[in-house]
Amino acid sequence: MSLFYRSTRDDSVRVTASQAILKGLAPDGGLFVPESIPSLDKSLEELSKMSYKEVAYEVMKLMLDDFTEEELKNCIDKAYDSKFDTEEIAPLVKAEGAYFLELFHGATIAFKDMALSILPHLLTTSAKKNDVKNEIVILTATSGDTGKAALAGFADVPGTRIVVFYPKNGVSPIQEKQMVTQKGANTHVIGIKGNFDDAQTGVKNIFGDKELEKVMNNAGFQFSSANSINIGRLVPQIVYYVYAYARLLANGEIKAGEKINAVVPTGNFGNILAAFYAKNMGLPINKLICASNENKVLYDFFTTGEYDRNRDFVLTTSPSMDILISSNLERLIYRIAGNSAEKNSELMASLKETGKYEITADMKAQLSDFYGNYATEAEDAATIKDLYETCGYVIDTHTAVAATVYNKYKADTKDETKTVIASTASPYKFTRSVMEAIDPKYASMGDFELVDKLSELAKVKVPNAIEEIRTAPVLHNTVCEVSEMTNEVKKFLGI
């Protein structure tokens, strides 16, 4: 065992992978990062002959090296099974000269399933490894997809409870229906009167409440997180970039060692950070193309070196990216600050106090791996329509942000490197926005009428995740003010 994790805000904090997974967030509010990023120890040719599960083991054993082979393989086997509607787990589809990595074949038809199918098993294994007797309470804020994927992953998992907060008017109708119909005696879903950043800040405040922590401990509970701030969420996301490269190699689309680009639609920065980690493990990635929607705080950061959340919050048709505080960016900031907890803490304090910070010229020079751009709502819709009309392939609104930005990247750079686009959600999750983009005449149809029409147009069977919520009863109808979040958690736990 050699890889430890440190807090981005306190050099003295040093824990094993399983301890980092259990804690979720460091006590000082920092995020856990690996002391070093290990290199892949299998060749690209060897990886190209492996299944998704096998690739997952080869990547995760390096990052989670205090898990035994048996423990890790057991977690992987339980995660990537018949919950996914394709044996490939993450198929690649070639369309319009790019390779769409479909990350939405899990139980809740969004990319969050890729990590949240395994996190409950990593977490319960970590609890046993560290002799934790308390019940683990998963506390999560969602901009739409994490919530349902976490609920599905943790529902009725012994020794756990899960509380999910979401912005009441900031998710799609399908996303909300998926969450509020969730079964499981250990699940609780709460709408807040605010946006995702309010929910995320509220959750971080609950994590940092030392008095509440004592009360929880006395009652036999402890918090952990299913958000991408948890390293147990981030590590499984590295896997699918390695797998995508391996599939391209196996299919003869690239030669071993040939570089590819990766385009990732992102709000919270976790998904593209996983691609950055994959590159640093030795995966031949050329550019990491960061695609934003009209909440373009990341695009502005990569362009200017200043992160500034002091702006209007825009509700878009890609709600999972409607974020102004990109939590996972802190892990990158820590790295380009020379792994300096002191420098990173200074910048994060500035963000908290003034809503912005600016990195140095030296730090900005280290961002050459990245290209940032954004898509407007009109561009997003036009891309969906164009791709459908050109080749019959239907993508969701978030994937359309990525495809739009990829087109801008090509126009800007004339780079013809083979490119993987992270397709982060099924179009069925955002049916209304997708169908109205294809043709405004669909605006008058009901939500489930649109689902059936989409199936007809895309020639793709309606996923189980949608079929099961057609008639499912609402089981969660709590709505609260941001200031009441702590009380709602206490109420649910009976403390």
Sequential DSSP letters for 96-146: TTEEEEE---STTSBTHHHHHTTHHHHHHHHHHHTT--SEEEEEEE-SSHH
Lowest mean pLDDT among 3-12, 219-228, 325-334, 484-493: 219-228
Q: Which two tokens stand for residue 78?
A: 């339980």
Q: Which two tokens stand for residue 148?
A: 């349902």
E-strand spans in 193-336?
Answer: 221-224, 260-265, 285-292, 306-308
| pLDDT range class, residue 409, cuts 50, 70, 90 | very high
Burial class (CB in 10 A: 0-12, 13-18, 19+), 362: exposed
> How far is it, in rounded angstroms, from Cα 394 to Cα 434?
8
Q: Looking at residue 411, what DSSP letter applies?
A: H
Looking at residues 164-188, what average pLDDT do you find?
94
**pLDDT tens column, 452-494:** 999 999 999 999 999 999 999 999 999 999 999 999 999 999 9
- Contact call for residues 150 and 137 (beta carbons, < 8 A): no
Looking at residues 274-279, what average pLDDT do you find?
98
What pLDDT is recorded for position 274?
Answer: 98
Sequential DSSP letters for 55-85: HHHHHHHHHSTTS-HHHHHHHHHHHSSTTSS
Looking at residues 354-366, what average pLDDT do you find?
97
What pLDDT is recorded for position 363?
Answer: 98
What pLDDT is recorded for position 202?
Answer: 95
Q: What is the mean pLDDT of the chain?
A: 95
**pLDDT tens column, 122-147:** 999 999 999 999 999 999 999 888 89
Looking at residues 345-349, what average pLDDT do you find?
97
> How far is it, in rounded angstroms, from Cα 233 to Cα 7?
16
Strand 478-480 versus strand 356-358 pairing type: unpaired
Cβ-based neighbour number of residue 464 at 10 Å: 12
**pLDDT tens column, 283-308:** 999 999 999 999 999 999 999 999 99
CB burial readout 277-316, b (16+ within 10 A) else e: bbbbbbbbbbbbbbbbbbbbbbbbbbeebebbbeeebeeb
What pLDDT is recorded for position 36?
Answer: 96
What pLDDT is recorded for position 242?
Answer: 98
What pLDDT is recorded for position 94?
Answer: 97
Cβ-based neighbour number of residue 130 at 10 Å: 14
What pLDDT is recorded for position 205?
Answer: 93
CB burial readout 175-187, b (16+ within 10 A) else e: bbbbbbbbebebb
Lowest mean pLDDT among 228-232, 379-383, 480-484: 228-232
What pLDDT is recorded for position 366?
Answer: 97
Looking at residues 169-195, what average pLDDT do you find?
94
What pLDDT is recorded for position 1?
Answer: 56
Q: What is the dihedral of CA 318, 319, 325, 331, to 10 degrees?
A: -60
Calculate the alpha carbon distances from 411 to 131, 404, 420, 430 in Å: 55, 11, 17, 28
Instruction: Establish whether 168 is a catalytic residue.
Output: no
- The active-site residue out of 23, 42, 112, 296 is 112
- Contact call for residues 247 and 92 (beta carbons, < 8 A): yes
Cα radius of gyration rounded to whole Å, the chain:
21
Percent of the chain with pLDDT over 90: 92
What pLDDT is recorded for position 313?
Answer: 92
Tracing tokens 């390096």 back to the chain, one arrives at: 62
What pLDDT is recorded for position 193?
Answer: 97
Q: Which two tokens stand for residue 195?
A: 């946006």
